Structure 1
Amino acid sequence: MTTSPPQPSAGGRLLVGAAIVLLAANLRVAVASVGVVLEQLRDDLGMSATVGGILTTLPVVCFAVFGVGSAAAVRRLGLHHAATLVLAMILVGLVVRSVVHDGTVFILCSVVALAGAAVGNVILPPLVKAHFPDRIPLVSSLYGAALMAGASTASIATVPLSDAFGGWRPGIGLWAALAAIALVPWLLMLRRDVHAGPPSTERLPLRAIARSPVAWSMVLLFTSQSAGAYAQFGWFAEMLTDSGVSDGYAGTLLGVISGVGIPLTLALPWLIGRIGDRPYLPWAFSAVTVSGWLGVLLAPSTVPWLWAVLLGLGGGAFTWTLTMIARRTRTTAGTAALSVATQGFGYLIAGLGPFGVGALHDLTGSWDASLIGLIVLGGLIAVFGTVVARPVMLEDTLAGAPRTPDRA
């Protein structure tokens, strides 16, 4: 059952819109703030590169397990209460992990923050649909840009904050202030909650789409992009510092990767409208991603800003993939099922990316093997993106699946 919120005033819509944008800005901070100080953090807590790989793998694992697993709980709890809980978890996780002195406890605190971010990923689309049904593309673009802006700002500012306040602990802990600020509007809206989700009669179980080539192409596309993206968050800065780039510059360049994606995300609806079902966008995302990692492999300290820009442009594959979930389904049930399968299985498999990068570095003593693997992942974006770009609908590939009226 879906409960619609009361129609708000213009001021009320502005408050909800600001709350959604602030929520999105917090969802990658726990990830982005660690990557730029990972080397110092590992030294202080006694973590090997392999254990550091576990830390960089946590985001994708948490996004798979907690994001998909929380759907039923969110429907019962309500979207506003869920958003409040998300931000509280992020706040607590960021604060506590900045003061602990044990690597295992640090990882557990990171799980708390990342579990909150995982649920945040799930509730953003229904929040937009519930409050802005007439402005879905606009508000979705705004929260997508805010998500990237949060990641970019955390990447750029964490090292200067660490230098200014005496170490990596305050550098990563101060980001809890952003979560505290974002909590305020959600606390004000708790009394006017909304419960949203497709009715049970319209839901498609995962087993109904397990044999769909559309679903598996989407999963593999999402996996290829996400594995490379979270390897970037976790290891890009350390790859550069190992080649002689300063910590501050490496952190800035990691921020550039996220920042470059902001205008691209805002422009993507227009680009998709112009290009349609031709696979030019995934080909372009693949080409710039491969070029960026190839640059890091062959000349990491020569023009690192160029490699950061190329990788940032390649990150547009993430937003394009999420957009294609809706474009490759006819019904609300199909969209929900494909989203769960894509993000659930995709994030779970993608966790091998950042973990593998760290493990290969430990085994070989260099980043070369890891970078070759990342180049291959970048190439797979073009392969699976070509399949996803074809105008084949999920529902048309389901044998014997229940059919519902077109609601897309």
Structure 2
Amino acid sequence: MTATTASAPTAAPRRILLLVVGIVIVAVNLRAVVTSLGALLDEVRDGLHLSGALAGVVTTIPTIAFAVFGATTPWLVRRVAPARLLVAAMAVLTLGQLLRVITDSAAAFIGFSALALAGIAVSNVLLPMMVKQHFPDRPGLVTGVYTLSMSAGAAAAGAAAVPVAHAFGSWRAGLGVWALLAAVAVLPWLPAALHRGQQLAVRRPGHHPGARIRPARTRIGWALAVFFGMQSIAGYATMGWLAQLFRDSGFSPSTAGLLLAGVTLFALPFALLMPTLAGRVRRVDLLIVGLTVLSGISYAGLAVAPHGGAVLWVTLMGIGQTVFPVSLVVIGLRARTPEGTVALSAFAQSVGYTLAALGPLLVGILYEATGGWIAPLGVLTAALVVQGAAGVLISRPRYVEDEAHAPGAHEPVEAVAPTPAAVLAETGPLAEPLREAA
């Protein structure tokens, strides 16, 4: 009896610690598969004899996979407990990374990369829900910790992929080593996954327990999707083109790469601070607009003085892009329940990553057409304006469950042009889970 009593107070802290460790290790894996490939893309192209077109497909796969597979997560959550689903997602990520480094086929490499990214896509959507479910009183802090871990994992994989490849004499080692990290991410979730009582929290009374939450039929769902898409465009355009901008302005390739890495490096402290603030302040819109303005100043600086003020512009851009973890916090704040969070997260990320796939492409087209960076930076600035406006809308205290079940909510939102994600929801082999994600 005494032993039981003594162990009881320590059970909760141990469980909380295990949950935090599990979330952090999963987060570290969420960008490593992308940044490690980016660092070794030339070696992969030579090793698999990829054409320029196929190399373009490889670099576009992440956003497409995040959009398509992320949309299936609400459908999966209704059938598999979240902890078990995270274990499965990390197992799929491990398998995909291993299989893609043992093939000599370009098509198989792309397919196995998509498999690995499917595991990431599901985890992308699940983590905000896990934070909402297990840390309802500290969503900002925990979101900050896992987005900080995500950034650290991305930076570490990008920096270490080439040295590891050189150490083992093959690009395959530089990509395959990250499968070990994904396998480790399974371990903290095994106790919860093996627990028979593990299930999604029951819906609160008064929120139509028999009804599915469809964010595509709510204003808050579309506002969050647009906001997530606009900030994703900036992030992926930066990863794809910022180093080239600095090279064009007179920096050496190695210095341009360091400046690109600086966007992540300078943002790391703020990646923890900003989501914590978002979870505590009363006016989230002021925080979002402030970060958006910082990004706008960095774009203006890059347009007029890309060489002389490079470090300042990179610093401001890095801080401005911490609007990404803020968006994850707001997803949790705009839902009352874990199932509302996962539905809203899936919809916002599915539509958002679909838009994000267009960002680097549009920047590249404008750069080739004009031979300079004024037009591309102008388009990114326009995206910032939309981001700021959507940020004001998502800051209003509304909940997706309330809008989804309000009178007339069964009718589709008027005057909204269909997106690729919306089209996929009506056609194709993933039609049912995509419709349920919406």
What TM-score does the superposition give when structure 1 sets the normalisation length? Answer: 0.80
Question: Partner residue of 2:363?
Answer: 357
Match of 1:123 among 123, 126, 149: 126
Match of 1:201 among 198, 209, 212: 209
- Describe the SS at the equivalent of 2:79: helix
What TM-score does the superposition give when structure 2 sets the normalisation length? Answer: 0.76
Equivalent pairs: percent with the same residue? Answer: 36
- Describe the SS at the equivalent of 1:345: helix
Question: Partner residue of 2:435?
Answer: none
Question: Partner residue of 1:222?
Answer: 228
Q: CA distance change for structure 1 residues 355 and 279 in 2, over 3 Å: closer, same or farther?
A: same
Note the 1:236-315 alignment, pairs <5 A: 236-240=242-246, 245=251, 248-272=254-278, 275-277=281-283, 279-297=285-303, 299-300=305-306, 302-315=308-321
RMSD: 3.5
AA aligned to 1:64 is: A
- Describe the SS at the equivalent of 1:77: coil
CA deviation string 1:153-198 (max 9, x = no partner): 2233334444544464433332223223323333455422622155
Question: Partner residue of 2:391?
Answer: 385
Match of 1:327 among 333, 358, 361: 333
Question: Partner residue of 1:66?
Answer: 69
Question: Partner residue of 2:81?
Answer: 78
- Greater mean deviation of Cα atoms: 329-338 or 311-320: 329-338
Q: CA distance change for structure 1 residues 270 and 23 in 2, over 3 Å: closer, same or farther?
A: closer
Tell me the distance in 1 between the aligned counterparts of 2:226 and 2:189.
35
- Greater mean deviation of Cα atoms: 278-287 or 250-259: 250-259
Tell me the distance in 2 between the aligned counterparts of 1:37 and 1:366.
27
Instruction: Tell me if structure 2 keeps the 8 A contact 1:57–1:355.
Output: no
- Describe the SS at the equivalent of 2:200: coil
Runs of 4+ in 1 over 6 A off after TM superposition: none
How far residue 66 of structure 1 moved from its aligned partner, in angstroms, is 0.9
- Greater mean deviation of Cα atoms: 56-65 or 128-137: 128-137
Q: CA distance change for structure 1 residues 278 and 318 in 2, over 3 Å: closer, same or farther?
A: closer
Tell me the distance in 2 between the aligned counterparts of 1:134 and 1:278.
17
AA aligned to 1:23 is: V
Q: CA distance change for structure 1 residues 115 and 332 in 2, over 3 Å: closer, same or farther?
A: closer
Tell me the distance in 2 between the aligned counterparts of 1:166 and 1:244.
32
Question: Partner residue of 1:376?
Answer: 382
Q: CA distance change for structure 1 residues 279 and 72 in 2, over 3 Å: closer, same or farther?
A: closer
The alignment of Structure 1 onto Structure 2 pairs a total of residues equal to 394
Instruction: Tell me if structure 1 keeps the 8 A contact 2:97–2:179.
Output: yes
How far residue 54 of structure 1 moved from its aligned partner, in angstroms, is 3.2
Instruction: Tell me if structure 1 keeps the 8 A contact 2:129–2:339.
Output: no
Question: Partner residue of 1:153?
Answer: 156
AA aligned to 2:91 is: A
Match of 1:400 among 408, 415, 423: 408
Q: CA distance change for structure 1 residues 175 and 291 in 2, over 3 Å: closer, same or farther?
A: farther
AA aligned to 1:290 is: G
How far residue 247 of structure 1 moved from its aligned partner, in angstroms, is 5.2
Larger Rg: 2
Tell me the distance in 2 between the aligned counterparts of 1:12 and 1:274.
25
How far residue 226 of structure 1 moved from its aligned partner, in angstroms, is 0.9
How far residue 225 of structure 1 moved from its aligned partner, in angstroms, is 0.6
CA deviation string 1:114-135 (max 9, x = no partner): 1110111122234345555565
**Structure 1: runs of 5+ lacking an equivalent:** 1-6, 403-408
